[in-house]
């Protein structure tokens, strides 16, 4: 099967098309019955194909495909790649085995988070960083003094996220045996005369995989998956369904749940790993990394903010609501919220000023303005700090995955 | 034989390293100075550049020695004395119509019109008052604008009071003039191009600024704020040559108990648990001490000796971005007879800078990596003052020639030849027949100075001394007061406040700061 090339606009007329099309555009456009598009990292991507409830339901009950092409990718290669990444990120990259992936973050000198992402170790001295925002200048500056090369390769790799309890079965039917593949591990397969890399990673908190392939073979991969996946009701999902799923999983998104240190204009908007509950990743013993001294000082001094999950009364979603203590004192802000179709709970992710995240968390309220026929109805809803992730099924981790 | 253990290691045996070591030793610490050269002294060291001719190294005059260093290291007792403290200056005019400036900062000038003499007297008085206000800042840790910065508020209060005491009119003028360029100030008040030429020349000596560059006046004030042996705005020539300063400081430090190891090139600063714990020498030897002080270039210290992997990316960016361009070349000529600068006294400081515009034009070229047509220069003949510098009847001419490109488009060797030819042409114009007297010539371009003295970019101050890299912004924003991000590692070189020269002030200040503790 020969893949059709997606149509890219004439570069001289870039102003006519401020958003680029992803490799999968011919397929996503054909499936986008609502014609619902949104910008993501300079590309136009689908927000909702035909029915948000059905798309979300497929993530939790069947199998789904999400176009991941706009995810920014950097390749880090060289004899000092691991040392470089250890200085760049807070986690220990040297401990990451070849063929494995870990979630990580990197900070500026002040210990404020620049971005989070996943780090793939493709070889002893060969890594890939996948993240939300663009950071080439910072990555290159950080390379000064290291024997390492850093290059952006976003355009060179097309990526699909295959998520849902039946995703393993779909891959098997498509001819890819990933039974032995554990979470956060990857494997490669021959496909269409090229190479397909499959990692057991994802952003839904469910069983799932991410598929990485050269753009020339991308459409063939899409077609192959949909042909094999039809019996399991495989369907494409848009960003809105993914956002519901990731909120249930308690995952954060850069620029939605925190403002990256290099973009924040207001000096109190930046957040440290302690303030985003990501300090568990910090390896204090691996040697120096950017921000370490500031973070040590913060560990001594204490942090101002905490990042928590909230369980809220009722079923009205509390997106972007202000959180109050004792109905009066503003103590925080919700960054993501939904009424969870899977859990039948009204959940949210929130920044809370300490100690309202723990010691004084017994009297929290969120102020919700619900638009009801052109009028706001103001609700004061009781909120309780609760554990994240909200949704964390065993099938996500089972190896080999269950036959759904 | 095992090395005795030391409390502090000072990297670099230049004047700042020696001053810092002496002060630390005096506080009860046992101090080891590691100098890569064969003898301590750095840029203050003289050397034989041709058989029988002894040239001052880089510096050929002393315009400031920190008063605390002079006093507490007792440099006089260790052999430092001066052939003169306020060496007169001659602005050498090609037609022989020279200006002779005598006394502190040209108190008396022969060869000016009456109106110009009065105008200069007024401007000089004002500049000296301003310089007097700024001088005390050199002898303290620069204050930082931050809460809990550990500033010396009592001292600062006194200095602030000193500024207020200028009186309303002078205070207003002080604020107006502090950050402007010297060219405008000279043209506001003076008319004689010769006087404006020498003042503009002196203002930009050793900087990477032309007289019309913003903030160039502050360099003139900085120069006037210098002192040697109690003499303000000094232009001093040590007896026995510049090497006398270095050797007196080394002797004083050793008398204090400091151990100086020469031929010891530091290859790396040892870091353990985020602390500096010692150094590794080029031959692999490891030396440990509780405190490590780097009195060498800040860029070299962080980028080579510590290394980026022990530092944050943003910090490394600031180190790399620190401006360090040198625009001065150093010329040494071995002459088989006395040159004749159309009758100018060879025992004065000879300045070849016909006008403030000529100084600016010579700077224009280096902005584009080119050699100027008509460089300006400061010429000293040490051999005219005393014997021992050159064979009898012969002379050694030492000149600071400005401006020389630090990264010439034509390449280093072509640019050096061009610079030498043009410098000799300028000298020949002012002293006909000089070229025929030259037995041997040596020209150190900024890149040669970098290679020989470790001054990045060939900048004398180990990082440009410009307003945006002064006080709490020195060596660069976010790092000042001699501290570094690594515990127990301190800076003490000219890259720190108050900058270069051979005064030892940065080293002494650093030692005081170390003794006072981190305060954070």
B296 and B332 assigned to the same domain: no
Residues B249, B266 share a domain: yes
Tell me if A339 sits within 8 A of A315, measured CB to CB.
yes
Last residue of a domain, one of B181, B204, B237: B237
In chain B, residues with a C-beta closer than 8 Å to the C-beta of A142 are 313
What's the total number of domains in chain B?
3
Please state, as a whole number, how many other Cβ atoms lie within 10 Å of the Cβ of residue A319: 13
The answer to whether residues B371 and B422 touch, using CB atoms and an 8 Å cutoff, is yes
Task: State yes or no: pLDDT of B519 exceeds 80.
Answer: no
- Answer with the one of B237, B257, B292 that is the final residue of a domain: B237
The CA distance from B206 to B196, in Å, is 18
Distance from CA of B308 to the nearest CA of A (A): 6
Residues in chain B, overall count:
520
Q: Which element (helix H / strand E) includes B224?
A: helix B217-224
CA distance A68 to chain B (A): 30
Q: Which residues of A touch B (CB under 8 A)?
A: 83, 87-88, 108-109, 138, 141-142, 144-146, 287-288, 290-293
Q: What is the pLDDT of residues B306-338, one digit of tens each?
A: 999 999 999 999 999 999 999 999 999 999 999
Percent above pLDDT 70 for chain A? 98
Give me A105's structure tokens.
Answer: 């973050």
Element of type H or E holding B220? helix B217-224
Same-domain check for residues B230 and B121: yes
Cβ contact, residue pair A109, B313, below 8 Å:
yes
| Residue B154 CB contacts under 8 Å (≥ 6 apart), including other chains | none
Mean pLDDT of chain B: 93
Q: Which residues of A touch B320 (CB under 8 A)?
A: 144
Token pair of B279 as six digits:
């150094």
Coil, helix or strand at residue B131: helix
Give yes or no for residue B520 having a pLDDT over 60.
no
In whole angstroms, what is the distance from residue A81 CA to residue A92 CA? Answer: 12
Distances (CA, A) of B361 to B98, B189, B190, B475: 21, 21, 19, 29
- Considering the domain architecture, whether residues B233 and B304 belong to the same structural domain is answered as no
pLDDT of residue B397: 97
| pLDDT above 90: residue B43 | no
Q: Are residues B229 and B136 in the same domain?
A: yes
What pLDDT is recorded for position B1? 44
Which DSSP state fits B487?
B
pLDDT of A1 > 60? The answer is no
Whether residue B86 lies inside any domain: the answer is no
Cβ-defined contact of B309 to A288 (cutoff 8 Å): yes
pLDDT digits (tens, 9 = 90+) for B368-418: 999 999 999 999 999 999 988 999 999 999 999 999 999 999 999 999 999
pLDDT at B444: 96
Average pLDDT, chain A: 96
Nearest CA in chain B to A286: B273
In a domain, B3, yes or no: no
pLDDT band at A123 (very low <50, low <70, confident <90, very high): very high
Contacts with B310 from chain A: Cβ below 8 Å? 288
Distance of CA A102 to the CA centre of its chain: 12
pLDDT at B2 over 70: no
Q: Rounded mean pLDDT of B267-293?
A: 97
Contacts of A82 in chain B (CB under 8 A): none
pLDDT score of B65 more than 90: yes
> HEC string of chain A?
CCCCCCCCCCHHHHHHCCCECCCCHHHHHHHCCCCEEEEECCEEEEEECCCHHHHHHHHHHCCEEEECCCCEEEEEECCCHHHHHHHHECCCHHHCCCCEEEEEEEECCCCCEEEEEEEEEEECCEEEEEECCCCHHHHHHHCCCCCCEEEECHHHCEEEEEECCCHHHHHHHCCCCCCCCCCCEEEEEEECCEEEEEECCCCCCCCEEEEEECHHHHHHHHHHHHHHHHHHCCEECCHHHHHHHHHHHCCCCECCCECCCCCCCCCCCCCCCHHHCCHHHCCCCCCCCCCHHHHHHHHHHCCCEEEEEEEECCCCCCCCCEEEECCCEEEEEEEEEEEECCCCEEEEEEEEECCCCCCCCCCEEEEEEEEECCEEEEEEEEEEEECCCCCCCHHHCCCCCCCC
| Cross-chain CB nearest to A145 (options B307, B312, B315) | B307
B274–A144 CB contact, under 8 Å: no
Is the N-terminal amide bond of B432 cis, ω within 30° of 0?
no
Helix (H, G, I), strand (E, B) or coil at B62: strand
Mutation site, B276, B313, B317, interface A, largest A CB count within 10 A? B313
The reported pLDDT for the residue numbered B41 is 83
Q: How far is A283 from chain B (nearest CA, A)?
A: 14
User: Hey, are the CB atoms on B310 and A142 less than 8 Å from each other?
Assistant: no
CA distances from B393 to A133, B346, B387 (A): 73, 14, 9
Is residue B1 included in any domain, yes or no?
no
| Cα distance between residue B225 and residue B227, in whole Å | 7
Cα gap A365→A384, rounded to integer Å: 8
Q: Domain limits of chain A?
A: 1-257+269-274, 275-386
Identify the pLDDT of residue B84: 86
Question: Is residue A396 within 8 Å of A202, Cβ to Cβ?
Answer: no
Q: Which residues of chain B have a CB within 8 Å of the CB of A292?
A: 274, 312
Compute the average pLDDT of residues B234-240: 91
Query: Do B320 and A291 make contact, defined as CB atoms within 8 angstroms?
Result: no
pLDDT mean over B86-95:
95
Q: Do B207 and B301 belong together in one domain?
A: no
Tell me the CATH number of domain A1-257+269-274, given options 3.30.450.20, 3.30.420.40, 3.30.1360.120, 3.50.30.30: 3.30.1360.120
Q: Is residue B2 part of a domain?
A: no
| A-B contacts at Cβ under 8 angstroms | 42
- Tell me the average pLDDT across A324-339: 97
Half-sphere exposure of B82 (CA within 13 A, CB side): 20
Taking only the tens place, the pLDDT of each residue in A62-113 is: 999 999 999 999 999 999 999 999 999 999 999 999 999 999 999 999 999 9
Q: Domain residues for B481?
A: 8-81+239-322+463-516
Inter-residue contact B32 to B12 (CB < 8 Å): no
Predicted pLDDT of residue B3: 58
Residue A146's closest CA among A288, A263, A9?
A288
Q: Domain spanning A275-386: which superfamily?
A: Aminomethyltransferase beta-barrel domains (2.40.30.110)
Most B-contacting residue of A87, A135, A285, A300 (CB-CB within 10 A), to test interface: A87
User: SS3 for B87?
Assistant: coil
What number is the average pLDDT over the span B145-160? 79
Q: Chain B interface residues facing chain A, Cβ-Cβ under 8 Å?
A: 274, 303, 307-317, 320, 485
**pLDDT for B145:** 76
Task: Report whether pLDDT(A164) > 70.
Answer: yes
Q: Is residue B199 part of a domain?
A: yes
**B188, B219, B237: which is the final residue of a domain?**
B237
Mean pLDDT within A352-372: 94
Nearby residues of A369 by Cβ (< 8 Å), 6 or more positions away: A321, A376, A377, A378, A379
Give pLDDT tens digits for A171-217. Answer: 999 999 999 999 999 999 999 999 999 999 999 999 999 999 999 99
* CATH code, domain with B284: 3.50.50.60
B154-180 pLDDT tens trace? 888 888 888 888 889 999 999 999 999
pLDDT of residue B510: 96
Task: Give residues with Cβ within 8 angstroms of B393, minimum separation 6.
Answer: B336, B337
Sequence-distant contacts of A177-182: CB under 8 A, at least 24 apart: A178/A209, A179/A399, A179/A400, A179/A401, A180/A399, A180/A400, A181/A209, A181/A399, A182/A399
Q: Report the CATH number that the domain containing residue B433 is assigned in CATH.
A: 3.30.190
Q: Same domain, yes or no, for B174 and B276?
A: no
**In a shared domain, residues B232 and B124:** yes
pLDDT of amino acid A335:
98
Residue A4 pLDDT > 70:
no
Q: Which residue has the higher pLDDT, B240 or A8?
A: B240
B contacts of A136 (beta carbons < 8 Å): none
Report ipTM (2 d.p.).
0.93
| Top-confidence residue, A14 or B267 | B267
């Amino acid at each position: 099967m020969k893949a059709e090339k997606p149509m890219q606009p004439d570069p001289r007329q870039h102003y006519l098309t401020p958003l680029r099309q992803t490799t999968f555009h011919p397929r996503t456009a054909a499936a986008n019955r609502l014609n619902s598009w949104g910008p993501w990292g300079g590309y136009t991507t689908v927000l909702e194909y035909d029915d948000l409830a059905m798309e979300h339901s497929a993530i939790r009950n069947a199998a789904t495909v999400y176009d991941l092409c706009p995810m920014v990718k950097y390749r880090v290669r060289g004899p000092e790649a691991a040392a470089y990444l250890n200085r760049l990120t807070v986690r220990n990259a040297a401990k990451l085995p070849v063929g494995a992936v870990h979630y990580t973050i990197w900070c500026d000198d002040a210990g404020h988070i620049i971005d989070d992402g996943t780090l793939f170790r493709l070889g002893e001295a060969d890594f890939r960083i996948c993240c939300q925002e663009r950071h080439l200048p910072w990555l290159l500056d950080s390379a000064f003094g290291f024997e390492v090369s850093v290059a952006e390769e976003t355009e060179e790799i097309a990526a699909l996220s295959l998520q849902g309890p039946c995703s393993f079965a779909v891959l098997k039917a498509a001819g890819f045996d990933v039974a032995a593949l554990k979470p956060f591990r990857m494997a490669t397969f021959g496909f269409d005369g090229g190479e397909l890399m499959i990692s057991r990673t994802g952003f839904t908190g469910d069983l799932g995989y991410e598929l990485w392939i050269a753009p020339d073979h991308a459409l063939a991969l899409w077609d192959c998956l949909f042909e094999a996946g039809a019996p399991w009701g495989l369907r494409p999902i848009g960003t809105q369904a993914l956002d519901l799923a990731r909120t249930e999983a308690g995952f954060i998104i850069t620029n939605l749940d925190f403002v990256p240190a290099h973009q924040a204009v207001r000096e109190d908007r930046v957040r440290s790993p302690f303030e985003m509950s990501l300090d568990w990743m910090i390896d204090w013993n691996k040697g120096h990394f950017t921000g370490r001294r500031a973070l040590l000082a913060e560990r001594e001094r204490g942090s101002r903010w905490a990042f928590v999950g909230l369980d809220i009364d009722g079923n009205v979603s509390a997106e972007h609501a202000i959180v109050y203590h004792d109905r009066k004192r503003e103590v925080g802000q919700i960054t993501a919220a939904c009424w969870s179709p899977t859990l039948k709970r009204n959940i949210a992710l929130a920044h809370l000023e300490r100690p309202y995240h723990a010691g004084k968390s017994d009297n929290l309220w969120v102020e919700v303005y619900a638009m009801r026929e052109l009028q706001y109805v103001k609700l004061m809803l009781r909120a309780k700090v609760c554990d994240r992730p909200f949704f964390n099924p065993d099938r996500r981790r089972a190896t080999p995955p269950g036959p759904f | 034989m095992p090395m005795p253990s030391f409390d502090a290691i000072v990297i670099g045996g230049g004047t700042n390293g020696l001053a810092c070591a002496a002060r630390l030793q005096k506080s009860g610490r046992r101090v080891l100075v590691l100098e890569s050269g064969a003898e301590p002294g750095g840029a203050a060291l003289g050397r034989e550049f041709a058989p029988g001719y002894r040239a001052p190294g880089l510096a050929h005059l002393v315009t400031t020695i920190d008063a605390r260093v002079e006093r507490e290291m007792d440099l006089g007792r260790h052999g430092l004395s001066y052939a003169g403290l306020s060496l007169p200056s001659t602005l050498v005019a090609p037609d022989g119509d020279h200006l002779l400036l005598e006394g502190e900062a040209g108190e008396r000038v022969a060869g000016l019109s009456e109106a110009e003499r009065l105008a200069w007297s007024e401007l000089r008085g004002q500049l000296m008052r301003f310089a007097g206000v700024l001088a005390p800042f050199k002898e303290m840790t620069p204050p930082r604008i931050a809460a809990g910065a550990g500033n010396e508020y009592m001292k600062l209060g006194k200095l602030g009071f000193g500024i207020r005491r200028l009186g309303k009119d002078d205070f207003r003028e002080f604020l107006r003039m502090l950050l402007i360029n010297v060219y405008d100030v000279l043209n506001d008040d003076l008319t004689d191009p010769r006087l404006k030429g020498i003042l503009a020349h002196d203002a930009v000596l050793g900087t990477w600024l032309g007289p019309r560059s913003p903030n160039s006046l502050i360099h003139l004030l900085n120069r006037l704020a210098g002192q040697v042996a109690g003499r303000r705005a000094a232009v001093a020539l040590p007896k026995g040559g510049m090497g006398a300063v270095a050797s007196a400081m080394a002797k004083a430090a050793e008398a204090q108990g400091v151990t100086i190891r020469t031929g010891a090139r530091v290859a790396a600063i040892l870091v353990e648990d985020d602390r500096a714990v010692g150094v590794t020498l080029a031959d692999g030897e490891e030396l440990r001490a509780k405190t490590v002080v780097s009195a060498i270039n800040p860029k070299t210290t962080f980028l080579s000796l510590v290394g980026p992997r022990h530092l944050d990316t943003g910090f490394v960016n600031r180190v790399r971005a620190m401006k360090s361009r040198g625009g001065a070349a150093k010329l040494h000529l071995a002459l088989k007879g006395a040159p004749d600068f159309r009758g100018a006294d060879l025992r004065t400081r000879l300045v070849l800078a016909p006008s403030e515009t000529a100084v600016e034009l010579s700077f224009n070229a280096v902005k584009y990596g080119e050699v100027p047509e008509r460089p300006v220069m400061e010429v000293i003949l040490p051999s005219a003052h005393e014997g021992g510098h050159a064979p009898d009847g012969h002379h050694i001419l030492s000149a600071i020639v400005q401006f020389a490109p630090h990264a010439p488009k034509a390449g280093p060797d072509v640019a050096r030849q061009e610079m030498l030819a043009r410098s000799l042409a300028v000298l020949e114009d002012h002293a006909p027949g000089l070229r025929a007297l030259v037995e041997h010539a040596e020209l150190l371009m900024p890149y040669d100075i970098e290679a020989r003295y470790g001054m990045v970019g060939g900048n004398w101050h180990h990082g440009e001394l410009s307003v945006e890299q002064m006080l709490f912004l020195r060596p660069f924003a976010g790092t000042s007061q001699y501290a570094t991000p690594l515990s127990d590692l301190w800076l003490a070189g000219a890259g720190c406040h108050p900058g270069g020269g051979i005064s030892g002030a940065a080293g002494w200040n650093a030692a005081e700061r170390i003794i006072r503790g981190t305060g954070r």
